[in-house]
Amino acid sequence: MPHTLTISQLTDKLAQGELSSREATQSCLDRIAAVDGQLNAFISHDPEDALAQADAADAALASGKSKPLLGVPIAMKDVIAVNGHPLNCASKILGDFNSPYDATVTEKLREAGAVIFGRVNMDEFAMGSSTENSAFGPARNPWNPDCIPGGSSGGSAVAVAADECIASLASDTGGSIRQPAALCGCVGLKPTYGRVSRYGLVAFASSLDQVGPLTKDVRDAATMLGVIAGEDKRDSTNVPEPVPDYIAALTGDVKGLKIGLPKEYQVEGLDPEVKAATEAAVAKLEKQGAEVKEISLPHTQYAIATYYIIATAEASTNLARFEGVRYGARVDGASPEEMNRATRGAGFGEEVKRRIILGTYVLSSGYYDAYYLRAQKVRTLIRQDFLNAFKEVDLIASPTTPTPAFKIGEKANDPLQMYLSDIFTISCNVAGLCGISIPCGFSVSGLPLGLQLLGKPFGEPDLLRAAHAYEQATEWHTKRPKIG
Amino acid sequence: MREDLQHAVKLARIELSAEEEERLGSQLGDILKYVDKLNELDVEGVEPTAHAVPLTNVLREDEPRESLSHEAAMRNAPKTSNGLFIVPKIVE
Amino acid sequence: MTYEAVIGLETHVQLRTRTKMWCGCANEYGAEANTNVCPVCIGLPGVLPVPNAEALRKTALAGMLLNCDVPSYAKWDRKNYFYPDNPKNYQLTQLDFPSTIEGFVEFEFGEGIERVRINRAHLEEDVGKSTHFSDYSGVDFNRAGVPLLEIVTEPDLTDADMAYDYLNALKAILEYGGVSDCNMEKGQVRCDVNISVRPIGQTELGEKVEIKNMNSFSGVRRAASYEIERQIGVLREGGTLVQETRRWDDAVGITESMRTKEDAHDYRYFPDPDLMPHTPSEEWIAEVRASVMELPLARKQRLMADYQLPASDAEVFVGDAALGDYFEVAAKGAKNPKAVANWVMNNLQAKLTETGGSTADLKFESSAIGELVRLVEDSKINSRIAQDVFSEMFESGKAPAVIVEEKGLSQVSDSAELEAFCNEAIEANPGPAQDFRNGKETALNFLKGQVMKASCGKANPQMVGELLKKILGS
Ligand SMILES: [Zn+2]
């Protein structure tokens, strides 16, 4: 069953000729045919195109080529541009948009030999924490289809957890990779802001967005990061920092690594099972040789408010380009203004509308200083909290989410409650750090739980080292949901 | 919906149904009340952060790169004519 | 009561770069619609801007030419408004930290020199171009993302003619610096005019009227002059003025109110998260400063002082900078720079126009024209021959002295030789000779012509005249 393999397992088998990329790709396609009717992880996929790429990879393998992802089927979140593929951002507004260009990460995957297939489900324009805000219907948690898979990269997490692909590429603006990874029991890595090019990632909030992988284990996350990281002249916010060998960081040794536990993270509404699992995981790392100490992040309680002002402000103008002039599903009107209003009224879902209006409001005349400018200043304080903490510790540990996956529809009418569930993941983006979520147990009801580790800017090697060491000492990541 | 929020809706060019307007109005009211939390903080003298990384002078040299073909540039357009993107008549 | 006008101008000028501001598409006028476009400049989902270094250099250079400071910190902001020609529906511009600030432009106005303060010259991006049909409009994005310099004056201009002269001076400066081609036909210069009037002696400004998107300087002059009259008229009749935007109807020659919606002006500026600040280093600024050239007015004044040229000649050389540069090299060490100027402005320019070439294509040394002038001044050749020598120089690139030598064109000033020519001419043309003796002065010119012809133009014409008179008079 090649679709259940990790990247490293599959590339080994491909290299040894035990398996072809076509077989692996076909296996994923069969798996999608079998389970995706129930899970709705994929918005669309093109089997013919995927198999053609697989055949090309097989030819390259046969000629002795070796590349880090040669022949590996990777599913793409529907927010990353792939030349010749649809790009919908899980929204109605893009209509039958077909991208005429590749994102930089797409190019890098191609260069690494990946079979890039499928458009996976998400919250519309990456706005949400449950993948319920998709114009293509909600994705479902493979551990319990009545539950949400998390979001916004829900489809990516489901596709990986349910073995519909080998790995997936997604984006994280406030936890959109880590939170669904935690709720679906896979590994989700958000790189440091500026580590991975954003060119071709449809912007939600430009100063917070970052592309990262969802994978079946930590080694695969390291492999994927090694492929997608690096300088890109098309992204002014991309940091020209050399890319280290992330696989080499996976030493299994955490001796002397200092891990901080923020005292402010003992929040109201933290599920006791989640709390216990996190404590157990930290105890395990301590036993493996890490030093654990309490730290303080005094501005934690302001992170969500800060985030929602900055993210929505940026989003309100990033999404202004979707108005029916150059692309997308136009709804006609007598004037350009009427056409814009009708197009956007019909094309955007409610959460997107809510955020655009909020973002427009906080930037509008008379409110800018009170909301946007103030939030930017608090952002400075939050970032400073972390930089201070990182003078004392190498990593910060916390739960990824305050609760396991909740039921579909449970929070649909209370956006604020939904926003508050982002408490542990949001600061990482606000401060521009790197973070990872790894499986650390299950709830009594059988839902996965995630441990989040945060690292300093460009501290991915330490982050991966600790995550990998923990993973080596546990079995959580080997568990798979039973579907169908 | 509050008048100041209606102003934002107008600026954002989003048509809302009456029902949407009412629901969003009350939800946004709650959210704005929540974010008022930031007023508790004294931010006097704090520099605003616009970027998560402190980069400056990221420039490109004035060198041509291949553009999109006309066909590729227009292929997603809702309406075209004579090589132009067609929109309802602009009246100033 | 007498009133005075207060005018401020915001002038948008396309920068001369090879590529657009944020992408590698050609910055080029006249291509087929939507062919100089890419994902970045048509605002496809997912794209990002990267600033063109040359546009920043040209902006700093323009600032320096306008006597502005180049601050060590500049940043980019988004100006949000929906318009079909605006691909992202926000325009990238520099709101509170522009690339250049606080300068001035000096220009000739009436008898004196006028100074207009420049508030700032900042960089932004152009939008696409709309064409209107009977029941729809079409947009071409070739122009979208072209770097645009916006030069904002303080409200220092006091009448329509002054605004007109300022604009021409600004254009000359920017063309001179190679910052922009300022081609009006190609829409490379556009202007917003702010006008108010107030009773003389009042310090606070009156209600400001903005006339947007003017694309000719004479239009600005006419619109401003109309608008000043209109505003004064309203006040004189006891009316009040409101701050508003008006449109200039060039055909009718009036301005009319544009009813703009109130919320149209809430641009929600905020710092662009996709672009990093520009913090030019001392070295970078010095490098740009090294390319700062003399401004037209300064050059004109210097040409008049250093070469004793009349204002009209100096203006020719200021208007055509390359020709002016050529003149300065040619006139170096010349005893009579005015004569050199005449050669450059008349003969050289005529030849260049004829051949369609430029001074860069010339085969002869730039010092050659000075030498040629000296040959005439020293009576080595006459000015007729000088024309031939010049043609030969133009063809072969040989030095004038060499040509004169090779072709034996030296002026014949030997009296014996000339006397022989004269006698021959008189003998061959007894009629005219007699006419002269009978007092018909013009007959001498005919004989002189015959001598010149016989000598292949080399005879010293002055001496020939004297000799003929002497022979015929004796
Ligand atoms: Zn372009």
For residue C71, CA distances in Å to B49, B73, C59, C64, C74 come to 20, 38, 12, 11, 7
Q: Give the pLDDT score at C470.
A: 81
Both tokens of residue C63? 């600032």
What stretches in chain A show pLDDT beneath 70? 484
- The C-alpha of B32 sits at a distance from chain A's nearest C-alpha, in angstroms, of 8
- Structure confidence by residue, pLDDT tens digits, A186-218: 999 999 999 999 999 999 999 999 999 999 999
**Measured distance CA(C119)–CA(C232) in Å, rounded:** 27
Q: Are B38 and B17 in contact (CB under 8 A)?
A: no
What burial class does residue A444 get, using C-beta atoms within 10 Å of its C-beta: 0-12 exposed, 13-18 middle, 19+ buried?
A: exposed
All structural domains of chain A with their residue ranges: 2-257+440-449+461-478
Q: Give the pLDDT score at C260.
A: 61
From C220, C85, C215, select the one nearest C145 (Cα to Cα): C85
| CB proximity A368 to C under 8 Å | yes
Out of C48, C51, C87, closest to residue A235 by CB: C48
Q: Give the pLDDT score at C395.
A: 81
Out of B8, B46, B48, closest to residue A357 by CB: B8
What stretches in chain C show pLDDT beneath 70? 259-264, 408-412, 474
Q: Are C388 and C349 in contact (CB under 8 A)?
A: no
Both tokens of residue A153? 């990269």
Query: Does A176 participate in catalysis according to the annotation?
Result: yes
Q: For C214, how many CA atoms within 13 A lie in the half-sphere containing its CB? A: 28
- Of B52-61, B75-84, C8-17, C313-322, minimum mean pLDDT range: C313-322
**Measured distance CA(C159)–CA(C330) in Å, rounded:** 41
Q: Are C231 and C241 in contact (CB under 8 A)?
A: yes
Q: Give the pLDDT score at C264.
A: 59
> What is the 3 state secondary structure string of A316-334?
HHHHHHCCCCCCCCCCCCC
Q: Give the pLDDT score at A292.
A: 97
**Measured distance CA(A134)–CA(A76) in Å, rounded:** 15
Strands C77-80 and C90-93: antiparallel
- The C-alpha of C40 sits at a distance from chain A's nearest C-alpha, in angstroms, of 10
- Cβ separation A373–B58 shorter than 8 A: no
**Chain B contacts of C278, Cβ < 8 Å?**
56-57, 59
Q: Give the pLDDT score at C474.
A: 62
CB neighbourhood size of C292 (10 A): 12
Q: What is the mean pLDDT of chain A?
A: 96
Q: Give the pLDDT score at A374.
A: 96
**Measured distance CA(A338)–CA(A348) in Å, rounded:** 15
Q: Give the pLDDT score at C409.
A: 66
**Measured distance CA(C141)–CA(C132) in Å, rounded:** 15
The arrangement of secondary structure in A2-257+440-449+461-478, i.e. its CATH architecture, is: Alpha-Beta Complex (3.90)
E strands present in A79-120: 115-120
Considering the candidates A176, A316, A421, A437, report the single residue annotated as catalytic.
A176
Q: Are A90 and A134 in contact (CB under 8 A)?
A: yes
First to last CA, chain B: 30
- Cβ separation A103–C39 shorter than 8 A: no
Between chain B and chain C, the number of residue pairs with CB atoms below 8 A apart is 127
Residues in chain B, overall count: 92
Q: Are C194 and C12 in contact (CB under 8 A)?
A: no
Out of A323, A329, A380, closest to residue B49 by CB: A380
Q: Which residue has 């036909």 as its token pair?
A: C185
For residue A40, CA distances in Å to A148, A157, A268, C400 come to 11, 12, 33, 88
Helix (H) or strand (E) segment spanning residue C170 = helix C160-176
Centre of ligand 1 from the C-alpha of residue C65, in Å = 29
- Cβ separation A363–C43 shorter than 8 A: no
Angle value at C-alpha C185, between C179 and C189, nearest 5 degrees: 40
Q: Which residue has 């009448």 as its token pair?
A: C159
> Cβ neighbours of residue A254 under 8 Å, at least 6 residues apart?
A285, A288, A289, A290, A465, A466, A469, A470
Q: Give the pLDDT score at C424.
A: 80
Out of C89, C137, C141, closest to residue A321 by CB: C89
Crossing angle for the helix pair C282-289 and C53-65, nearest 10 degrees? Answer: 70
* Chain A residue closest in CA terms to C81: A320
- Structure confidence by residue, pLDDT tens digits, A119-177: 999 999 999 999 999 999 999 999 999 999 999 999 999 999 999 999 999 999 999 99
Q: Give the pLDDT score at C382.
A: 76
- The C-alpha of B82 sits at a distance from chain A's nearest C-alpha, in angstroms, of 15
**Chain B contacts of C54, Cβ < 8 Å?**
61-62
For residue C30, CA distances in Å to A414, C140, C395 come to 54, 11, 36
- Cβ separation C137–B63 shorter than 8 A: no
Centre of ligand 1 from the C-alpha of residue C276, in Å = 20
| CB proximity B2 to A under 8 Å | no
Q: Are A14 and A70 in contact (CB under 8 A)?
A: yes
Q: What is the mean pLDDT of chain B?
A: 93
Residue C346 is classified by DSSP as: I
- The C-alpha of A44 sits at a distance from chain B's nearest C-alpha, in angstroms, of 18
**Measured distance CA(C283)–CA(C289) in Å, rounded:** 10
Interface of A with B in 200-239 (CB under 8 A): 207-208, 233, 236-237, 239
Both tokens of residue A300? 């934690």
**Measured distance CA(C158)–CA(C153) in Å, rounded:** 12
The DSSP line for C201-226 is: T--S----EEEEEE--HHHHHHHHHH
**Measured distance CA(C320)–CA(C167) in Å, rounded:** 18
- Cβ separation C138–B87 shorter than 8 A: yes
**Measured distance CA(C469)–CA(C444) in Å, rounded:** 8
Q: Are A452 and A400 in contact (CB under 8 A)?
A: yes
- Cβ separation B53–A333 shorter than 8 A: no
| CB proximity B39 to A under 8 Å | yes
Backbone angles phi, psi at C237, to 5 degrees: -85, 10
Hey, what amino acid is at C371? E
**pTM > 0.90:** no
